[in-house]
Amino acid sequence: MSEPVFAAADSPLRLLPKVELHCHVEGAARAATVAELAAKHGVPLGVDDPDDLYTYESLADFLNAFATVCSVFVEPEDFHRLAYEAAEDAATAGTQYREMFFSPGFHLDRSVRFDTMWSGIVAGIADGEADHGVRTRLIMDIDKPKGIGPAMALLEAARVADRDILIGVGGDSTERGVDHHIFEPLIREAKNMGLKTCFHCGEDGPAENIAIMVEAGLDRIDHGTWLLDLPDLVKRVVDEQIPLTSCPSSNVEIGIVESLDSHPFPQQFEAGALVTLNSDDPTFFRFDLADEYERIAATFGYDHEAMIKFRNNAIDAAWLDESDKAALRTEFANG
């Protein structure tokens, strides 16, 4: 396998102002921070070097590591630090606006209250914006394997959240053994609450899961790696310009696809899909969004204009109102 590509500090793709729509706040936890917080709370990590946590061969492996990392965040100030450092690292990647997941299912399991994580993350993104200029809005991910009961309970818990900051509801974790039809009421109720909806699907599960969620009214597809397996679905996704938040390097890291050059991203783009590029879990995979742009350009031979097109797709696919999108386009055009 060839050596991974990284974007240098002065690379045009690192300097390109970017928008990211698929990144998990817990997936942006720095190993050093995880180690410090584990020591603070006496949480066993099961490894001597926290960096060793971040190695996997499958989504199941990855989700185990994700749960371990989540277990060190206990108090509001821990969540504050998590969100603040994520913004600091996003600034280094050239990310200026981000719609970011948080996954309460992994924290409520440990009796951390919704308000503890919410207040900490909200304060962290506010300070991150003030100090590093990265604007962040939040998407609450439900943990799909737990089923519809806990998902609906989470949606209830989220009623207290400030709607200028909580803009959507998503679903993550594995698709294996999960009947996606059960989430239809969740999508319906989230929409009733005025929230946008997205779901991880067509990642470690088939394109049929994407079809089920699109039929349920999904606003955005997270991953959608296997979309091309269903031509009728491709037609609908293209006709309706339902965005895909693609994370090609993440798919390689956890063994969803064999190599970056075998990822269907270029074919999805050529089919007319509104594709965007995203890092998913940057510290877990040891690269950031700038590196992802650099890798995609290098692997598929896209020029800078093409990469700007993918960045602009992310503006189009963002859950901002039209005037905010226009302001971002002007800001980015002016450097």
Partner whose footprint covers residue 173, from Zn ion, ligand HPA, none (CB < 5 to 8 Å by kind) = ligand HPA
- The nearer residue to ligand HPA, 174 or 313, going by C-beta atoms, is 174
Residue 203 touches Zn ion, criterion: CB under 5 A: no
Q: How far is the CB of 283 from ligand HPA (least distance, A)?
A: 12
Of the candidates 68, 74, 73, 75, the one whose C-alpha atom is nearest the C-alpha of residue 45 is 68
Residues 116, 3: Cα–Cα separation, whole Å: 41
Q: Which of 85, 203, 253, 292 is catalytic?
A: 203
**Active-site residue 203, yes or no?**
yes
Of the candidates 200, 297, 213, 204, the one whose C-alpha atom is nearest the C-alpha of residue 245 is 200
Residues 334, 328: Cα–Cα separation, whole Å: 10
| Pair of tokens at residue 218 | 């999904």
Find the part of the chain contacting Zn ion (CB under 5 A) among 36-44, 106-114, 274-282, 314-322.
274-282
Contacts with ligand HPA by CB under 6 A lie at: 24, 27, 59, 66, 172-173, 200, 203, 250, 280-281
Q: How far is the CB of 163 from ligand HPA (least distance, A)?
A: 24
Cβ within 8 Å of residue 24, ≥6 positions away: 66, 100, 101, 102, 103, 141, 172, 280, 281
Residue 141 touches Zn ion, criterion: CB under 5 A: no
Partner whose footprint covers residue 27, from Zn ion, ligand HPA, none (CB < 5 to 8 Å by kind) = ligand HPA
Name the region of 147 (left: φ>0; alpha: ψ -120 to 50; beta: rest): left
- The nearer residue to Zn ion, 20 or 280, going by C-beta atoms, is 280
Of the candidates 180, 247, 254, the one whose C-alpha atom is nearest the C-alpha of residue 217 is 180
Q: How far is the CB of 118 from ligand HPA (least distance, A)?
A: 18
Q: How far is the CB of 284 from Zn ion (least distance, A)?
A: 10
Q: Which residues are catalytic?
A: 203
